[in-house]
Amino acid sequence: MLYDKIAIITGGASGIGKATAAEFLTEGAEVVIADLDEDQGETVAEELDCKFVRTDVAEYEQVEELVESTVEKHGRLDIMVNNAGIGSETSIQEMDLEEWHQVIQVDLDSVMHGMKAALPHLDESDGCIVNTASIYGLVGGKGAASYSAAKGGVVNLTQQVAIDYADEGVRVNSVCPGFVDTPMTEDLLETERFYTFLETHTPMDRPAQPEEISSMITFLASEKASYMTGANVPVDGGWTAH
């Protein structure tokens, strides 16, 4: 499905990003994973047999360097997956400004950085972008002020960039996962109170596995989604339908 495609996946050292890297490689893509966590990134790159570039996605210069070094090595870029992110469950009253800015930088600015750096190259290759948003970008979530604001920004930015680049042949979509069993949520999912909250809101009564999200990212990145752009696709066990 992705034979010979050159892909960058941010946050590729863990969870959804790692599962996406594994699936892209199975589908025949050449993959570069980018992550802040150098040890984990090197370990995963060795395990999956792909390249790792340490990158802080909150810093535009580092994302630009990631994209430029990938294009220099492979000659082009076909797929940019802006997936790296951090969680936050703090309400606006409890949050200090430092936390607000950090979540906005890592969860929203990073997506703008990835798109801005990749678009000139995707333009040339008729490539595509897949962003990882969240159900919290589509509906509210209790006590997740900065995270919801950031993910809502990702949803709207996805639509906007999709419109702006549609006639240049670049498709831009996002996936909006419900709760996924990854290192980001493992502490939460271990508490009975949270698991009850999740079951109450999820008709399917369970969190997703990372592979249930990466399969949608792979589909959106493939030619099978050739008429899809500007879509923010919930993969949420029914959460947003509830």
- Binder of ligand NAD out of 25, 27, 37, 124 (CB under 6 A): 37
Name which of residues 149 to 178 contact ligand NAD (CB under 6 A). Answer: 177
CA dihedral for 220, 56, 114, 47, sign (positive or negative): negative
Nearest to ligand NAD of 58, 172 (CB atom): 58
- When asked if residue 134 is in the footprint of ligand NAD (CB under 6 A), the reply is yes
Nearest to ligand NAD of 124, 194 (CB atom): 194
Structure tokens, 153: 């920004």
- When asked if residue 109 is in the footprint of ligand NAD (CB under 6 A), the reply is no
- When asked if residue 16 is in the footprint of ligand NAD (CB under 6 A), the reply is yes
How many helices (DSSP H) and strands (DSSP E) are in the chain? 9, 7
Nearest to ligand NAD of 52, 179 (CB atom): 179
Residue 101 neighbours by CB under 8 Å, 6+ apart: none
- When asked if residue 237 is in the footprint of ligand NAD (CB under 6 A), the reply is no
Quickly tell me which residue has 């699936």 as its tokens: 23
The Cα–Cα gap between 111 and 63 comes to 10
Least distance between ligand NAD and beta carbon 225 (Å): 19
Instruction: Say whether 6 sits in a helix, a strand or coil.
Output: strand
Least distance between ligand NAD and beta carbon 60 (Å): 12
Q: Tell me the DSSP string of 152-175.
A: HHHHHHHHHHHHHHGGGT-EEEEE
- When asked if residue 185 is in the footprint of ligand NAD (CB under 6 A), the reply is yes
Q: In what order do the strands lie in the sheet with 79-82?
A: 51-54, 30-35, 6-10, 79-82, 128-132, 171-177, 232-235
Nearest to ligand NAD of 77, 125 (CB atom): 77
Least distance between ligand NAD and beta carbon 107 (Å): 6
- When asked if residue 84 is in the footprint of ligand NAD (CB under 6 A), the reply is yes
Where does this chain bind ligand NAD (CB under 6 A)?
10-11, 13-17, 35-37, 55-58, 83-86, 106-107, 132, 134, 177, 179-180, 182-185
